[in-house]
Amino acid sequence: ITSPWFSTAFGLIGLCSNLFALCVLLSSSRKLSSRTRSSFLVFLCGLVVTDFMGLLVTASVIIPYHFIKFTWAKVDPSCHLCNFLGFSMIFFGQCPLLLGATMAGERFFGINHPFSRSTSISKRRAWSIVGLVWGFSCLLGLLPKNTLQYPGSWCFLTLLPDTGNVVFCLLFALLGIFSVLLSFIFNTVSVVTLCRVYHNRESVQRRRDSEVEMMVQLVGIMIIATICWMPLLV
């Protein structure tokens, strides 16, 4: 019913916003000397790259469909394109939730247990963790069978009352819900800890401005993920 230019415009806005955010993150990471802050920026950079690629890959298939209205049976008789799009939907859908939970967990231990680690997470280790999240999401996306979904513009995991399909649907939904809930718990405890630190006169000398900034970003990510994903996952 709506014009395909709406999805095209929103897709371009999303891509440009992510590119701008990536440039800002790369510029900030070069100027920082704090390992704690730089490792957080690595996770944030991984999240931005994931979101950018998710928009780019899915939009490159879905938007042309709305303009051309091609027939999937003719364009993709072997279902390779449909399986690739379904894989992308699962991969780029689960990755941001897992990365958000990982970032929240890293800040939780950094704020509440600052002396449990001899050193902060290095950039290399942070990128390794991001790579593990990408690898796990990739493996998850390769497991299910994907089918064409209404109104025929996209593919996703098969939503049929078959045992294998039901098990994977539950796995996908519960993993996403668990990631969001874990982020909520970690972020809530971290925010409470920071509030106590700022109201404790004996800890005035502890510089927590950067940690507060990181927590604000995490809470923003968590709120967006909750609003956009939780209704669909439930």
The pTM (predicted TM-score) of the whole model is 0.86
Higher pLDDT, 36 or 47: 47
Residue extents of the structural domains in the chain: 4-232
CA distance 201 to 6: 53
Average pLDDT, the chain: 85
pLDDT, residue 118, reads 45
CA distance 28 to 50: 19
pLDDT digits (tens, 9 = 90+) for 100-150: 999 999 888 887 776 555 446 778 888 999 999 999 999 999 988 889 988
pLDDT at 196 over 90: no
CA distance 88 to 18: 18
CB 224 within 8 A of CB 51: no
Q: Which CATH class is domain 4-232?
A: mainly alpha
